[in-house]
Amino acid sequence: MFKQKPTRIGISWGDPNGIGSECILKAFDDRRLFEDLLPVVYGHGETLRRQAAQFDVAIEIQDIEDASDAKPGAICCVNITPQAIVPNWGQPHPDAGEFARLSLETAVNDLASTKVDVLVTAPINKDTIQSKQFKFPGHTEYLANKAGVEDVLMILASDILRVGVVTGHVALKEVASSISKGRIERYATLLNESLERDFGLPTPRIAVLGLNPHAGDNGLIGEEEKTIIAPAVQSLKNAGMKVRGPFGADGFFGSGDFKQFDGVLAMYHDQGLIPFKSLSFGQGVNFTAGLPIVRTSPDHGTAFDIAGKGQADGQSLRAACRMAADIKNHRDAYREITVNPLKTPPSKGRDKGRF
């Protein structure tokens, strides 16, 4: 039987005062990952070895000068600084933010030059990473800017649920004014494309949530469902997509109706992520759809409150690594089955290449 080539995964360190490095070590403490993955961590090899001893993780860690030198069976580390890192566990600091930025930038550069196949990002502190070089709300917006892509969709995915968010990192008071028929159509289309191409789900079933309680109760609690969301759903149906809604979010998740759909499009961040994390926390993965590259991350943050205490769990980062490889393989398969063997047109748009 044909065995696929191992996926070379670039992993950014995240905030060095948070749980990112501990999660990386504990993720690969499951030796089965090395059968299909070649992990390349961007940070400092000796620091990672010291932390492996601190967190009682017996694993081989090799320093490499270049990601292309990565060998199977070990965590390979590209040193982005000559000196060992001494974490100030749980404490936000601009120096930690700068280290996280440099790790991310180095990993992205290697991804762009195809030295790694996919990107997995450990959590950053969105405040301390801010600088002249990084003026973005988070990883998603940074990568969209690097790729020159206007529309990307944050998808939280697990074995039981996939949720996309229309407005993302937007203040709650600005959500209603940020929603439009066109925006819903664009993001639903992105979700549909991603479910087909990235998750291998042909003709996916998508549920669209309402904005207001009880999806507006026919206009009694708000007009957005009648004037914006329902017309968008109808337009998507007319385009041939299998879309239903708008659904009231509480009843939709409380009744288990989400199990009938391949993907859910929520109107705002907490509407989608609270039920997702309630159902899948520690096992979920954050995936950025719409990019020409594959990027995933764990479904948690820096967790400063437990950093350095040995209490972090690597399960979500492990799932992020597996999903990144799976999505790459799905994209490769999708590209093969959709190519025209008689004429190969010049690639354009989202599939034009990397950064």
Measured from the Cβ of residue 200, the count of other Cβ atoms closer than 10 Å reads: 15
% residues pLDDT > 70 (the chain): 95
Task: Report the candidate in 246, 267, 275, 249 with the shortest Cα–Cα distance to residue 175.
Answer: 267
Place of tokens 């819903």: 184
Task: Report the candidate in 241, 201, 186 with the shortest Cα–Cα distance to residue 326.
Answer: 201
Most distant CA atoms of the chain, gap in Å: 63
- Residue 1 pLDDT more than 50? no
In this predicted structure, what is the pLDDT of residue 350? 45
- Residue 224 pLDDT more than 90? yes
Place of tokens 């020159």: 148
Rounded to whole angstroms, how far apart are CA atoms 82 and 96? 15
In this predicted structure, what is the pLDDT of residue 90? 97
In this predicted structure, what is the pLDDT of residue 340? 60
- Residue 183 pLDDT more than 60? yes
Rounded to whole angstroms, how far apart are CA atoms 132 and 25? 31
**CATH class (in words) of the domain with range 151-290:** alpha beta
Task: Report the candidate in 65, 267, 110, 305 with the shortest Cα–Cα distance to residue 183.
Answer: 267
Rounded to whole angstroms, how far apart are CA atoms 85 and 79? 11
- Residue 233 pLDDT more than 60? yes
- Residue 50 pLDDT more than 80? yes
Q: Where are the alpha helices (DSSP H) in 239-314?
A: 249-254, 269-280
In this predicted structure, what is the pLDDT of residue 348? 42
Rounded to whole angstroms, how far apart are CA atoms 40 and 187? 32
% residues pLDDT > 90 (the chain): 85
- Here the tokens at position 256 are 């288990």
Model confidence pLDDT, tens digit, residues 299-348: 999 999 999 999 999 999 999 999 999 999 999 988 888 776 554 444 44
- Residue 354 pLDDT more than 80? no
In this predicted structure, what is the pLDDT of residue 39? 97
Rounded to whole angstroms, how far apart are CA atoms 118 and 288? 12
In this predicted structure, what is the pLDDT of residue 191? 97
In this predicted structure, what is the pLDDT of residue 263? 97
Place of tokens 């989202």: 350
Please compute, for residue 88, the number of CA atoms within 13 A of its CA located in the half-sphere on the CB side. 8
Among 73-77, 256-260, 350-354, the least confident range: 350-354
In this predicted structure, what is the pLDDT of residue 283? 84
In this chain, the answer to whether the domains covering 1-149+291-355 and 151-290 adopt an identical fold is yes
CB neighbour list of residue 50: distance below 8 Å, 6 or more residues apart: 84
Model confidence pLDDT, tens digit, residues 5-29: 899 999 999 999 999 999 999 999 9
State the chain's mean pLDDT as an integer.
Answer: 92
- Residue 84 pLDDT more than 50? yes
Q: Check residues 62 and 3 and name the one with the higher pLDDT.
A: 62
pTM of the model: 0.89
Phi, psi dihedrals of residue 264, rounded to the nearest 5°: -125, 135
Q: How far is CA 241 from CA 14, 234, 237, 330, in A?
A: 38, 10, 5, 20
- Residue 353 pLDDT more than 60? no
In this predicted structure, what is the pLDDT of residue 266? 97
In this prediction, residues 198-212 reach a mean pLDDT of 96
Q: How far is CA 230 from CA 140, 215, 220, 253, 305, in A?
A: 28, 10, 15, 19, 43
Model confidence pLDDT, tens digit, residues 106-156: 999 999 999 999 999 999 999 999 999 999 989 989 999 999 998 999 999
Domain ranges of the chain: 1-149+291-355, 151-290
DSSP annotation string for 175-201: HHHH--HHHHHHHHHHHHHHHHHTS--
- Residue 349 pLDDT more than 90? no
The answer to whether domain 1-149+291-355 has CATH 3.40.718.10 is yes
In this predicted structure, what is the pLDDT of residue 5? 84
Residue 52 · residue 61 · CB < 8 Å: yes
In this predicted structure, what is the pLDDT of residue 336? 84
